[in-house]
Structure 1
Amino acid sequence: MTLVATAPVAKRRTLIRIPFTLVFGGTIIALSTVVAFFPSLFAPYDPVAMDYNALLQAPTIAHPFGTDSFGRDVLSRVIHAYTVDMQIAVFATLFPFVFGTFIGALVGYAGGWVNALFGRVVDAIITFPFLVLVIAIVAVLGPGLINMYVAVSVVGWVFYARLVATEVQVQKRLDYADSGRAMGYRPLRIIFLHLLPNAITPALVYWMTDMALAILLGSSLGYLGLGAQPPIAEWGVQIADGKNFMNTAWWISVFPGVAIVVTGLGFSLVGDGLAELLRTKK
């Protein structure tokens, strides 16, 4: 009997398809980040320089987005506003994401009365509309970006904490969590080295969407005079500057509005694409 050696069958590699929404949204955010870090490379004029010989000038070659009521170049102000609004997207959501994830992981693992008490705190906060609470806190603390970050952080962390707590409660019932406890691992090691990496996906996806909402919130507060303060270039402030000129100088408000929509769309697409990618990997 002759034995014939056969070559081992190579394992087929599973290719991970990157969603188009993630690529497209990531491109928008990457370009927005570059503009936010280096606005002077793209802006043709000083964003606060006034030209009283070019008041309310319609879009031209010299001023592609026109000028506002002070003769300031709208394109330059939109570009420099990327720095402020991208900063809002990060700083208004980073602390809620980190703190909410930390608290949610602890609450989800503890369960019992801790989870019940946390549920009452969440119910008390989300009973009131998010925007109303933020406006109320900013009104007490005073207008400005720092106070806006404080107001958003006071309210926003509960949404992350609730997402993570729910997912940790699911993960801690699985076999690998039981194995960690059987091996004598400390609770903090089980929570942050084993459970949290498997439970953080919903919070990461929500974070991307929350950045888009933060830009909308920052622009809304800027429009109301509670966020960034003039003469700082910020999209909400620019829209407020042009609200009285919509019939005669629509470009003052329209172009900042387009920037809000495009940047918010980028973050939303990244969130959707990230969720699809993580579902595919599972």
Structure 2
Amino acid sequence: MSEVSSIHTPTAPPSLLRRALCKPGLMLGVAIVGVSSLLAIAPSLFAPYDPNFIDYNAVKQPPSWAHPFGTDMLGRDSLSRVIAAYSVNMQMAVLATVFAMIIGVTVGALVGYYRGIADAIFGRFVDAIITFPFLVLVIAVVAVLGPGLVNMYIAITLVNWVYYARLMRAEVITQMGNDYASAGVVMGYSDRRIIFRHLLPNAITPVIVYWMTDMALAILLGSSLGYLGLGAQPPQAEWGVLIAEGRNFITTAWWLSLMPGIAIVITGIGFSLIGDGLADLLRPRD
């Protein structure tokens, strides 16, 4: 009798996409952000009315079939204004964070690589910045520059890049202890090649994860500044502005502040779910 030997081949690890599809939280976050992005790109396709159309015959009407989110104090459709605000608030999520990330990643990579006196100065600067509450610093800068979206982006970038730089510095220092970094030095690679072609790609993952969460915080911060009158300015539709417009009618027209508040929470949850999902997905596996 002949013996049949079975050969067991090692199972290939699942692909990154397949593992991502198996994470319902991540997929839910992608769906929320995807829908939010679609509403931001083409709000006119989904808004049932002109968000700035004034109808004094429909002032502060409660939610109904004709106006699912009710109307405001000028008779404008609240659903259309909440949808129109997606363009501004999703813009906040990107523009209020992307420049801070670029500056912070660059500075953090350089400081983490060269260390020395630059690292000591950077450490003292970071200590001075994080001593003050983030929101207080941003409000102070906006107060100096003046209200408006552009000045708000500048203020957030001036304060927020420090946090990206601190994270990138720590990751670069960790990567410097690996053999490939020492090998690059031995082989005579330039500092620029070692930093931007070898260290940075291996250290960027935690920064990307942090960026996703930071976009959720940017929406909350931008809405807070809009509520305080330091961000977007009326009559521009923005969730913080809409909440501020409805605060005086909270007992008689509760929907004016509730609906944009729900939009803030749902969108923020979407970015947070993506951040948590990426952190789990990109975590080193045994």
Q: Aligned with 2:40: secondary structure?
A: helix
Separation in 1 of the partners of 2:158 and 2:284? 34
Q: Aligned with 1:279: secondary structure?
A: coil
Structure 2 gaps of 5+ residues are none
Separation in 2 of the partners of 1:67 and 1:84? 20
The TM-score with structure 1 as length reference comes to 0.96
- Structure 1 equivalent of residue 24 of structure 2: 20
1:67-96, CA deviations, whole angstroms, 9 ceiling, x for partnerless residues? 000100000000000000000000000000
Q: Aligned with 2:283: secondary structure?
A: helix
Matched positions, count: 279
1:191-233, CA deviations, whole angstroms, 9 ceiling, x for partnerless residues? 1111111111111111001000000011000001110000000
The TM-score with structure 2 as length reference comes to 0.94
Asked if 1:89 corresponds to 2:93, the answer is yes
Shift of 1:126: 1.2
- Structure 1 equivalent of residue 265 of structure 2: 261
- Structure 2 equivalent of residue 275 of structure 1: 279
Shift of 1:6: 8.0
Shift of 1:11: 3.6
Letter paired with 1:180: G
- Structure 1 equivalent of residue 80 of structure 2: 76
Separation in 2 of the partners of 1:99 and 1:5? 63
- Structure 1 equivalent of residue 236 of structure 2: 232
1:92-137, CA deviations, whole angstroms, 9 ceiling, x for partnerless residues? 0000011100110000001122211100111111111110011111
1:195 equivalent among 187, 192, 199: 199
- Structure 2 equivalent of residue 212 of structure 1: 216
Q: Aligned with 1:49: secondary structure?
A: coil
Letter paired with 2:32: I
**Aligned structure 1 segments of 4 or more residues deviating by more than 2 angstroms:** 4-11
Mapping for residues 25-44 of structure 1, pairs under 5 Å: 25-44=29-48
Letter paired with 2:11: R
Shift of 1:175: 0.7
Separation in 2 of the partners of 1:9 and 1:162? 47
Q: What is the root-mean-square deviation in Å for CA atoms of aligned residues?
A: 1.5
Q: In 2 relative to 1, CA 63–98 (structure 1 residues): closer, same or farther, beyond 3 Å?
A: same
1:106 equivalent among 102, 107, 110: 110
Q: Aligned with 1:60: secondary structure?
A: coil
Separation in 2 of the partners of 1:77 and 1:264? 19
Shift of 1:235: 0.2
Letter paired with 2:183: S
1:134-157, CA deviations, whole angstroms, 9 ceiling, x for partnerless residues? 111111111000000000010000
Asked if 1:178 corresponds to 2:177, the answer is no
Asked if 1:156 corresponds to 2:160, the answer is yes
Separation in 1 of the partners of 2:248 and 2:257? 10
Shift of 1:15: 1.3
1:145 equivalent among 126, 146, 149: 149
Separation in 1 of the partners of 2:189 and 2:152? 41
Separation in 1 of the partners of 2:105 and 2:220? 23
Q: Aligned with 2:66: secondary structure?
A: coil
Q: Aligned with 2:160: secondary structure?
A: helix
Structure 1 gaps of 5+ residues are none
- Structure 1 equivalent of residue 62 of structure 2: 58
Separation in 2 of the partners of 1:165 and 1:6? 53
Separation in 2 of the partners of 1:217 and 1:132? 11
